[in-house]
Structure 1
Amino acid sequence: MSVGIRYDWQETEIQQIYNMPLLELVYQAASVHRQYHDPKKIQVCKLISIKTGGCPEDCGYCAQSSHYKTEVKPQALLDKETVVNIAQTAKQKGVSRVCMGAAWREVRDNSQFEKVLEMVKEVTDMGLEVCCTLGMLTADQAKRLETAGLYAYNHNLDTSEDYYSTIITTRTYSDRLNTIEKVRQTNVTVCSGGILGLGETAEDRVSMLCTLANLNPHPESVPINILSQVEGTPLENQPDVPIWDVVRMIATARIVMPTSDVRLSAGRARLSQVEQAFCFMAGANSIFSSDDNKMLTVTTPCPDYDADQEMLNLLGLEMRPPVQRANQVASPATVG
């Protein structure tokens, strides 16, 4: 299967792709993946929660929301030295992208944002790609992040526009899209995907992919997250997502957004090596790894660096180095 890059997808077309016989879908997606990517290369990312808990949003899946009683306790913004040290350890293990997440509804022009800009600059200067997820932001804030060297900004759509208000009421779908548009006014790349297992239908999943696939350009990064049920949140009793639903979603995303990195993100810890291999076959070319067995908070488990290195070696896959930009001179990440 050879596909071009399109921005005029119809939901019915994507539905037909999503509903293909599974092995045919994986084959088609694998063919598209090879058309646009090196199938042996996997980007390994590290997510750092630089400001944990106490978020005023009411996202029904989130352990960090102040609306719910979970085991996550609010913590102050990490200091720059701590973040840099975590990033340095990650780089030594072969990580090429460091993502910094803050439990904020929106970025505010204050001393905390100044500290985040300093973190972005210092970690970027190490030769790593830096991604931030800080909530909503203005055009000026996006520009300041660009000036600091930010490589990517994450702002997930989470689900379809129709289902969104069932999961979140403290902001709108338009708010999400507006933030992505602010990022698009800079040279910072866009990272935007969704979460499986929120109680959404297959039609909701297709609708979300259709929204993303009709953005021009497509998000350079599309994370596919699997719900990690958190005690104390409204979604704590949601059933686990079947692995084949995850594979379908990855494969469909790969076909409709062929140049994007499709990231197998939260929830990967419960997948076996065989299940992850299917995800890679279907077009996933990025994972999150850790040195402390957690992804963002104590409630979101994440495989560790050594286990992931073992898996990649077993599958004959290689860690992808960071993208080097014209204004950046740094040595590539070393694999530990």
Structure 2
Amino acid sequence: METLESLRTLYCQPFLSLLTQARGVHVANHPDDEIQRCQLVNIKGGGCSENCGYCAQSARYATGLNVHKLLEPVALRQAVEEARAHGATRLCLGAAWRGLKEGDKQLEAVCRLVEAIREEGLEICVTLGLLDPGAARRLREAGVMIYNHNLNTGPKFYERITTTHTFADRVKTLRAAQEAGLRLCSGGILGLGESVEDRLEMLLTLCKLDPAPESVPLNLLVPIPGTPLASQTPVDPFDLVRLISVTRILLPYSRIRLAAGRRSLSPEAQALCFLAGANSLFIGEHLLTTPNASFHVDQSLFSTLGIEVSSSAARGNV
């Protein structure tokens, strides 16, 4: 059983030693040149009642975000075609609200969207906030395969980024999703003002889930004007690579996804991330509310590194 002390020792060893160890774990469990591509679609933007200090979609902050209602099926099918054309194997649908309960009209509306695209050949992941067990089961019945709900940081620091729900609420949602038969996608955000210990405590929590998350997104905070965290200092890329390395060693079979903030990384920094064990990323020029690297920039990087989308990635296997 891993402990915070053992993770701290692992994290703080010389950088090249940690990177070498992580690389060995990665190549033992994953194809060396495989990168999973995921496309993120904001199916309902803005107006969220929660007060997460990093989020442009909170109704509590003046961020200038355009609020939009739930996407129509025609627009979602267009997003599916775009995702497939760009090599994505997973479609991630996100909606800004506190969460869903069994019987909610919003839950049924989302399920109708999922049912409209579930035969399109892409894995369907959704991120819809807090869930009760009944809502999780309904999403599974509709065709959702994966539920994304990031822990974001460690339990001790969590109340400093939001007070409208708790860290325990997040863990409860993950367990409800698992019990409904959904695979998990859960990770964190670096750059909220947290300590290294907070990041490692987040990883410890993920390790205690059974099974461990299939995917672990690691986001870099993109400071949004108007939010409480608008003036945060950028994360050192070496800190990101260290955390990816520790994550790869702890969760050898999970995909580690480069998510928000990737556009701020140089090609060399991204190459180090892949070397450490990152093997998934979001494609497309926009995520939920933040910009992302362009398709052509990504293609150039993949070409330079000799990265291809393998057949196992196309099937969404881990």
Q: TM-score range by the shorter chain?
A: over 0.9
| Residue type of the alignment partner of 1:97 | R
Report the equivalent of 2:82. 89
Q: TM-score, normalised by structure 2?
A: 0.96
C-alpha distance in 1 between matches for 2:72 and 2:105 = 12
| Residue type of the alignment partner of 2:294 | D
2:151–2:202 CA contact under 8 A, matched in 1: yes
1:84–1:119 CA contact under 8 A, matched in 2: no
Change beyond 3 A, Cα 1:123–1:309: farther
Equivalent in 276, 281, 287 of residue 295 of structure 1: 287
Give the secondary structure class of the aligned counterpart of 2:118: helix
| Residue type of the alignment partner of 1:57 | E
The Cα shift of 1:295 comes to 1.0
Matched, 1:225 2:215: no
C-alpha distance in 1 between matches for 2:36 and 2:19 = 20
Deviations 1:95-124 (A, max 9, x none): 111100000101143333222112222333
Matched, 1:52 2:45: yes
Structure 1's unaligned 5+ residue stretches are: 1-7, 325-336
C-alpha distance in 2 between matches for 1:241 and 1:275 = 12
| Residue type of the alignment partner of 2:67 | P
- 1:29-40 to structure 2, matched below 5 A, reads 29-40=22-33
Give the secondary structure class of the aligned counterpart of 1:318: coil
Equivalent in 17, 35, 38 of residue 10 of structure 2: 17
Report the equivalent of 1:126. 120
Deviations 1:150-169 (A, max 9, x none): 11000111101000000010
Q: TM-score, normalised by structure 1?
A: 0.91
Q: State the identity as a percent.
A: 43
> Which aligned runs of 4 or more in structure 1 are off by greater than 6 angstroms?
none
| Residue type of the alignment partner of 1:151 | M
Give the secondary structure class of the aligned counterpart of 1:101: strand
- 1:55-204 to structure 2, matched below 5 A, reads 55-108=48-101, 109-204=103-198
1:54–1:73 CA contact under 8 A, matched in 2: no
Give the secondary structure class of the aligned counterpart of 1:153: strand
C-alpha distance in 2 between matches for 1:309 and 1:180 = 34
Deviations 1:285-316 (A, max 9, x none): 001011xx21112xx11012222122112111
Report the equivalent of 2:267. 273
C-alpha distance in 2 between matches for 1:177 and 1:91 = 32
- Aligned residues, how many? 313
C-alpha distance in 2 between matches for 1:150 and 1:16 = 38
Equivalent in 244, 247, 266 of residue 241 of structure 2: 247
The Cα shift of 1:265 comes to 0.6
| Residue type of the alignment partner of 1:56 | S
